[in-house]
Amino acid sequence: MPYEFLEHEADIGIRAWGKSLEEAFADGAKALFDIMVDVGKVEPKESVDIQCEGTDIPALFVEWLNTLLTRADIAGLVFGDFKNITITPLAYNLYKLHAKASGEKLDTVRHNIKVEAKAATYHGLKYEIKDGTHYLQCVIDV
């Protein structure tokens, strides 16, 4: 798995990584939804376009996760697949993300409900590149 869960007193930390920044963002999203459901059982039946902005890469990561949570909640979906992620620097201190998230309507039995993720937070927020691998982490409020 290209992500892991981190110890935290009351919430759940996630750390995701990938050979590209886009891959790390996709794996961070998988970690987020794996907190809530068995993400391996989510089928890509519906797709939605996702757009968000952030002042830097770590802030964009938090905005990405929170946008996914909002879109999933509004539509009653769970996501398990994240493709066509593009991250574009627009101006000084502004990045824009476009992506496609795929999933299906939440099935409380088949998806094995775990805990509710309320929001991605800036607590423990970190972005680094080590040996060509991009690492992103934050704490998810549950």
pTM equals 0.93
pLDDT band at 10; cut points 50, 70, 90: confident
Which tens digit of pLDDT belongs to each residue from 51-80? 999 999 999 999 999 999 999 999 999 999
Residue 5 has pLDDT above 90, yes or no: no
Condensed to tens digits (0 to 9), the pLDDT of residues 67-122 reads: 999 999 999 999 999 999 999 999 888 999 999 999 999 999 899 999 999 999 99
DSSP per residue, the chain: --EEEE--SSSEEEEEEESSHHHHHHHHHHHHHHHHS-GGG----EEEEEEEEESSHHHHHHHHHHHHHHHHHHHTEEEEEEEEEEEEEEETTEEEEEEEEEEEE--TTTTT------EE-STT-EEEEETTEEEEEEEEE-
CATH of the domain spanning 3-141, picked from 3.30.70.380, 3.55.10.10, 1.25.40.10, 3.40.50.300? 3.55.10.10
